[in-house]
Structure 1
Amino acid sequence: MPREELNQIYIAVVGAGGVGRHFLNQLAAIAPKYPNIHLLLVARSTKSLAAPDHTKPLSFQTWEADLEKSTAPALDNDQIANFFYKTPRHCVIVDNTSNQDVADLYPQFLYSEVSVVTPNKKGFSGYLGLWKRIEDAAFHHLYPGQVRGLLYHESSVGAGLPVISTLKDLIDTGDKVQKIEGVFSGTMSFLFNNFAPVDGKGGKWSAEVAKAKEAGYTEPDPRDDLNGVDVARKLVILARICGLEIESTDSFPVQSLIPVELESVKSGDKFMEKLPQYDSSMEEVKNEAVKEGKVVRFVGSIDVGKKALKVGLEKFDKGHPIAGLKGSDNIISFYTERYGANPLIVQGAG
Structure 2
Amino acid sequence: MANMAAPCRLRFSTVPLPTRSPAPWSLGVKGRTSIDATSLRGGASRGVGAAACAAMLAACLPRTAAAQRCAARTSYTRCAAGDAPTLHVGLVGYGLVGQELMKQMVAAAPKLEEQIGVKLEIAAISKSKVMALLPPGSDGWDESKEEPADLEKLGKYVVDAAASSGGRAIIVDNTASDGPAEVYEAWLLAGADVATPNKRAGSGPFPRYEKIMAASQKTGARFLYEATVGAGLPVLGPLQALLRAGDEVESVEGIFSGTLSYIFNTWKPGVKFSDVVKEAKEKGFTEPDPRDDLGGTDVQRKVTILAREIGLTIELDDVPVKSLVPDKLQSWEPPSGKKLGDAFVEAVSMLASPHFGQELTAYDDEMDALLQEAEAANEVLRFVGAVDVKAGKASVKLGRYPKDHPFASTQFADNICAVSSKWYTPRPLVVQGPGAGAAVTAAGVFSNVMEVMNGMR
Task: Indicate the percent of aligned positions where both proteins have the same amino acid.
Answer: 37
Structure 1 residue 111 displacement after superposition? 1.6
Task: Answer whether contact 1:115 1:149 (CA < 8 A) is retained.
Answer: yes
Which residue type is aligned with residue 83 of structure 1? Y
The C-alpha deviation readout for 1:65-108, integer Å capped at 9, x for no partner, is xx2x3352232233234324533331111111122121111111
Separation in 1, partners of 2:228, 2:275: 29
Q: Is the 8 A contact 2:133 2:157 kept in 1?
A: no
Match of 1:40 among 123, 127, 131: 123
Matched, 1:330 2:408: no
Tell me if 1:208 matches 2:276: yes
* Unpaired segments ≥5 residues, structure 1: 140-145
1:98 aligns with 2:176: yes
Query: What is the aligned partner in structure 1 of residue 215 from structure 2?
Result: 137
Q: Which has the higher contact order (CA 8 A, sep 6+)?
A: 2
1:258-277 to 2 correspondence within 5 Å? 258-267=325-334, 268=344, 269-276=346-353, 277=361
Contact 1:45–1:74 (Cα < 8 Å) also in 2: no
Deviation by residue 1:110-132 (Cα, 9 ceiling, x = unmatched): 12211111111111100000111
Aligned to 2:267: 195
With structure 2 as the length reference, what TM-score do the two structures score? 0.69
Question: What is the deviation of 1:169?
Answer: 0.8
Structure 2 stretches lacking a partner, 5+ long: 1-45, 47-74, 335-343, 354-360, 436-457
Off by >6 Å, runs of 4+ in structure 1: none
Look up the SS of the partner of 1:340 in the other structure: coil
Query: Counterpart of 2:371?
Result: 286
**Paired residues of 1:265 and 1:271 also in contact (CA < 8 A):** no
Does the residue aligned with 2:431 lie in a helix, a strand or coil? Answer: strand
Structure 1 residues 237-316: aligned runs within 5 Å: 237-247=305-315, 249-267=316-334, 268=344, 269-276=346-353, 277=361, 278-316=363-401
**2:306 counterpart of 1:234:** no
Match of 1:9 in 2: 87
Cα distance in 2 between the residues matched to 1:157 and 1:22: 18
Indicate the structure (1 or 2) with the bigger Cα radius of gyration: 2
Q: How many equivalent residue pairs?
A: 330
CA contact (8 A) 2:159 2:192 kept: no
Per-residue deviation, residues 283-310 of structure 1 (Å, max 9, x unmatched): 1111222232211111101101101111
- Cα deviations across residues 183-221 of structure 1 (Å, max 9, x unaligned)? 00000000001114xxxx462211111221222222454
Residues 251 and 389 in structure 2, CA contact (< 8 A), matched pair in contact too? yes
Equivalence for 1:143: none
Distance 1:272 1:253 in 2: 27
Separation in structure 2 between the aligned mates of residue 331 and residue 133 of structure 1, nearest angstrom: 30
- The AA in structure 2 aligned to 1:80 is L
Cα contact 1:317–1:323 (8 A) shared by 2: yes
Q: In 2, distance between residues paired with 1:220 and 1:274? A: 20
Please say if 1:173 is aligned against 2:245: yes
TM-score by length of 1: 0.89
